[in-house]
Every structure is written in C-alpha cells, then in structure tokens.
C-alpha cells in the first residue's frame, strides 16, 4: 500500500482558496473510494494550493492518481497547474506537485503530509521541503518518505503524465509505523522547515498573507482516513512555560 498526495493551484486568486472551491472538492472525494482507494481526503489547504491525498493499494495507484487529477480539474476555478501536465517530458510545464511513500501492509495507514505555498515561486522552497525529509530520515518509527524535491525531473506521475522542473509549491510525505510516532516525526519535519529563512507554519486553510519572498506551509496527519491539522497542537506544545 502507498500514500499518494497531489497538490495544485486551481484557485482564482494568488493568496487563498474560496469556501466554494473547498466544499466542491470535498463533495467529490468519495469518488476515490469508488475507484478502490482505502481512503481519501482534502488533506492540506495552504494559501491558494490544495492537496488531495489517498491511501491506495499499489496496483491501483495510477487509477487513483488519475481520479485525484479529475477531481482537481472538474472543480478548478482556474486551470492553473493542471495545464502544465504533459504526455511526455518535452511537453511538460509547471504543473501539479506529487509525492508518494510506501506503507507496511500490517500497519494502519498513517502519514504526515507537509504542503508548501509560495507567492512568486521562491526558489529556496525546494531546500525547505528537502530539509523536512532529511529531518525525518532514519528516525525510529518511520516507514518511508517521498523523494526529494528536484529528483526525477521531468517528473513522471503514475497514471497522470509529466511535470517539469519548474513546478513549485511542493508536497512531501512520510509514513509512520505507529500512532505514537506521528507527533515525533511531524515535529522534526515542522521544526526543520521553520528553521529555514522566511518560512512560516500556518493553519490548514490560511491565506498567504505574508511579505512576498516568503514561504508558508501546512502540516497534517492523515491517519486511517482522518485529517488532523498539526499547526495548532504544535503551537501549543512549543509555548514557553513560565
């Protein structure tokens, strides 16, 4: 089994996602289970970017990926990143973001998903995303992580097509062995991202109200089909007690 996560900017503005866009996507998520996914959800909403994630058996990965892109396409306010998908590396442009990671068959499907949004495609966002993956690598309780940003470009997305190296607003995922490892691994990934310049953790659904030149990110736990916004508990946990 795998987790697959696909992110896209399909909003009609550059800073946020409308309530109607979110509701329309959520009402179509059931279609992923009809395609054979174990579960699916609109896991991350970050500025003007959304991420749809699903737990899926390996042999249905291409089918479910196509289903995710169909949901994004059918509900898009602006075709945006969808237009960058190409049938070959030569025709690919700036497109959707993609991450996948494996899950052990004898485990509940639990994962941490970190999604980024940039206002102007700030080039350091790939380094920020990769720092999250590096922080999680080798930790106890980690099953698998997605590929680093910048690897395998032009990137082939199974069942969908290709996107180019120009693709920004990355998404990264980590799968975990047990429930208690979620907080440990997520905190390492969040902390690594926050340590980078001009990078800010936001709550799921927050607009991109930051000074241009900055990067925002949301962090969610996708646990057996349930979505938990990790920004609020992380903020509470890191308060300095007096």
**Of 81, 229, 106, 101, residue with least CA distance to 168:** 81
Instruction: Classify residue 242: in a domain, yes or no.
Output: no
| Full domain range(s) for residue 183 | 2-237
| Interatomic CA distance for residues 145 and 239, integer angstroms | 28
Q: Is residue 138 scored above 80 in pLDDT?
A: yes
pLDDT in tens, 34-82: 999 999 999 999 999 999 999 999 999 999 999 999 999 999 999 989 9
Alpha helices for the chain (secondary structure H): 19-28, 30-34, 61-75, 125-136, 179-194, 231-237
Task: Report the predicted TM-score, pTM, of the whole model to 2 decimal places.
Answer: 0.95
Instruction: Classify residue 232: in a domain, yes or no.
Output: yes
Total number of domains constituting the chain:
1
pLDDT in tens, 167-208: 889 999 999 999 999 999 999 999 999 999 999 999 999 998
Instruction: Classify residue 56: in a domain, yes or no.
Output: yes
Instruction: Classify residue 162: in a domain, yes or no.
Output: yes
Burial 105-115 (b: 16+ CB within 10 A, else e): eeeebbbbbbb
Peptide bond into 154 cis (omega under 30): yes
| Cα within 13 Å of Cα(151), Cβ side | 10
């Amino acid at each position: 089994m795998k987790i697959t996560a696909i992110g896209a900017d399909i909003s009609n503005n550059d800073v946020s996602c409308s309530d109607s866009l979110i509701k329309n996507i959520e009402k179509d998520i059931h279609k992923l289970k009809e395609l054979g996914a174990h579960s699916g959800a609109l896991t991350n909403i970050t500025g003007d970017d959304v991420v749809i994630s699903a737990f899926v058996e390996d042999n249905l990965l291409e089918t479910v990926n196509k289903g995710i892109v169909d949901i994004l396409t059918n509900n898009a306010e602006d075709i945006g990143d969808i237009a960058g998908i190409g049938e070959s590396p030569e025709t690919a442009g700036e497109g959707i973001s993609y991450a996948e990671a494996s899950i052990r068959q004898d485990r509940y499907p639990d994962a941490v998903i970190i999604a980024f949004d940039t206002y102007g495609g700030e080039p350091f966002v790939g380094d920020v995303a990769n720092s999250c993956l590096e922080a999680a690598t080798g930790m106890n309780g980690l099953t698998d992580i997605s590929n680093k940003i910048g690897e395998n470009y032009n990137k082939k997305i199974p069942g969908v097509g290709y996107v180019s190296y120009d693709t920004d607003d990355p998404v990264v995922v980590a799968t975990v062995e047990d429930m208690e490892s979620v907080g440990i691994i997520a905190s390492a990934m969040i902390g690594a991202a926050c340590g980078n310049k001009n990078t800010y953790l936001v709550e799921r659904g927050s607009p991109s109200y930051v000074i241009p030149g900055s990067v925002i990110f949301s962090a969610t736990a996708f646990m057996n089909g349930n979505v938990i916004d990790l920004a609020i508990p992380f903020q509470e946990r890191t308060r300095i007690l007096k």
